[in-house]
Amino acid sequence: MTRTPPRTVAVAFTGASGMPYGIRLVECLLGAGCEVWLLYSQVAQIVARQEMDLELPSRPAEVQRALSERFGAAPDQLRVFGREEWFAPLASGSNPADAMVVCPCTMGTLASIAAGLSQNLIERAADVAIKEGRKLVLVPRETPFSPIHLENMLKLARLGVVILPPSPGFYTHPQTVEDMVDFVVARVLDQIGVPNDLMRRWGEGDER
């Protein structure tokens, strides 16, 4: 069975390590022709600078312009919203994204989503995705997981949320960090139904 690829995908960056996954995900979604609605936390700005020497300005319009130019996005293909922008479309069940990915996802954000707190636009958009039955994928980067983390993840998984820790496989014989990033991003894209060829599939070619 084939799935219709999502037209709009909300992507949220939070303050966990793993910003290369999120940036690559946005690049691939734009390349696949999806409309991307991007959200980012204040701590994500620090992580982007630390891990990628990437500046995410506080003004969403500046981030939208910079990333659109970086990835060659079509006009209005990438929209960036502020954390308190409550009139953004994804804040309401009347106009949610087709799918949402929080990548990377902090344990604090995951806990807030599990509790339905909706204290900022990231949490509210995730709450809307759950209540409207849209695909929600969380990419939690933490180790080890505490019992609190595991209980929150189990609660969300039972609601249909996909918990996808960034755990690259080595059967593809990755040669670079980029290969390992692509492995994880490919699995995220698979979950939301976006076709991709970022990794060699199990059982396809180069069999040993």
Which parts are annotated binding residues? 15-17, 41, 106-109, 141, 171, 187
Taking only Cα atoms into account, the Rg of the chain, rounded to an integer number of angstroms, comes to 16
Q: Using CA atoms, how far apart are residues 94 and 166, in angstroms rounded to an integer?
A: 31
Where do the H-state alpha helices sit in 95-176?
Answer: 107-115, 121-131, 147-158
Q: Which residues are annotated as a binding site for FMN?
A: 15-17, 41, 106-109, 141
Cβ neighbours for 110, distance < 8 A, ≥ 6 positions apart: 102, 138, 140, 149, 152, 153, 156
Q: Which residues are annotated as a binding site for dimethylallyl phosphate?
A: 171, 187
Contact 129, 155 (CB under 8 A): no
Contact 50, 34 (CB under 8 A): no
DSSP-derived pairing of the beta strands 135-140 and 162-163: parallel
H or E element that contains 43 = helix 42-52
